[in-house]
Amino acid sequence: RYMHSTGASAFFLVIYLHMFRGLIYGSYRKPRELLWIIGVIIYLAMMATAFMGYLLPWGQMSYWGAQVIVNLFSAFPFGIGEPLSVWIRGDYVISDATLNRFFALHFLLPFILAALVFIHIVALHKVGSNNPDGIEIKKNKDENGIPKDGIPFHPYYSVKDIVGVGVFLIFFTAIIFFWPDFGGLFLEPPNFEPANPLKTPEHIAPVWYFTPFYAMLRAVPPMFNSQFPGVVVMFAAILIMFFLPWLDRSPVKSIRYKGMLFKAAIAIFAVTFVVLAWLGMQASTPTKTLLAQIFTAVYFAFFLLMPFYSKMDKTKPVPERVTK
């Protein structure tokens, strides 16, 4: 159990770092739009897999967390919400029917995830990997048609990655052996109690890698006694990533050659995401709700204002060859 829960958190941490690196170096820009979109689909598949698996321990937080998330679908209007939530649960409440279908889906989704990763790698092989300079090395080839700034995957990348994997495994095993719950961040104390439908935990919160979006959900006040606006904002916060390749109008890809406007925006965005993650873990208070509303607005402003500040930004000239 400790290996599984720590592995899930480590997986999301690596993916978040991978996505952030893509943001700062422009890995979503032409000709890698499809590569980025496949990556976001992988992220959605990961979230679905993690959510299905979160119910399986049948602990207090698992049960009530699933109850809260599935109930969100009942907020959909036009009379489709309630039948949809019943269809997802397989019952009127979280029960054995829900547990069985979530177990089956949690087993199936990793295979879909593996297929998506394979497609992601095929797309990467087609367009080639990006670099910190954001330069297309295929435009500068030698007489044999090989990019002058390209290097073989083996031994250069393989050896480098083996070192990275080794360092990662040291921290990974240390957490499993000495601090498996990571202070309640990876495994919450209420989840060590068996699920009890008659006893609601004092504070219900998802695992840390979902908390930024949970904070956005709670930040939006109900409308007509419905949480539907919050549900829309939560899903929009994820789906807006699909449009990133067309929102960035900068003439350069990499942050190395972008101006202070983009650098300030990406720094504020990173802080915003971390603060929203923290707010999503906390019990809701008027002050924290106000903070969540402010940072939710900042989160969306990063994307919606990108066509303007990325175009206005003063950029540096990009070299023709990859720099050292």
136 closest CA partner among 316, 322, 1, 275:
322
Helix ranges (H only) for the chain are 2-25, 33-55, 60-72, 81-89, 96-127, 158-178, 211-219, 228-239, 244-247, 260-281, 286-304, 306-312
Count of CA atoms in the C-beta half-sphere (13 A) of 175: 22
Token pair for 100: 């069985």
Give the dihedral sign, CA 239/184/88/77: negative
> In whole angstroms, what is the distance from residue 143 CA to residue 250 CA?
32
* Main-chain dihedrals φ then ψ at residue 143, nearest 5 degrees: -65, -20
Sequence-separated (6 or more) residues with CB below 8 Å from residue 201: 60, 61, 64, 190
Query: What is the pLDDT at residue 324?
Result: 66
Tens of pLDDT, residue by residue, the chain (324 residues): 899 999 999 999 999 999 999 999 999 999 999 999 999 999 999 999 999 999 998 899 999 989 988 988 888 888 888 999 999 999 988 999 999 999 999 999 999 999 999 999 999 999 988 999 999 888 888 888 888 888 888 888 899 999 999 999 999 999 999 999 998 889 888 888 999 988 888 888 899 999 999 999 999 998 877 789 999 999 999 999 999 999 999 999 999 999 999 999 999 999 999 999 999 999 999 999 999 999 999 999 999 999 999 999 999 999 988 876
Query: What is the pLDDT at residue 227?
Result: 87
Token pair for 225: 């006694």
Instruction: Please check whether residue 91 is in contact with residue 98, taking contact to mean a CB–CB distance below 8 angstroms.
Output: yes
Count of CA atoms in the C-beta half-sphere (13 A) of 269: 19
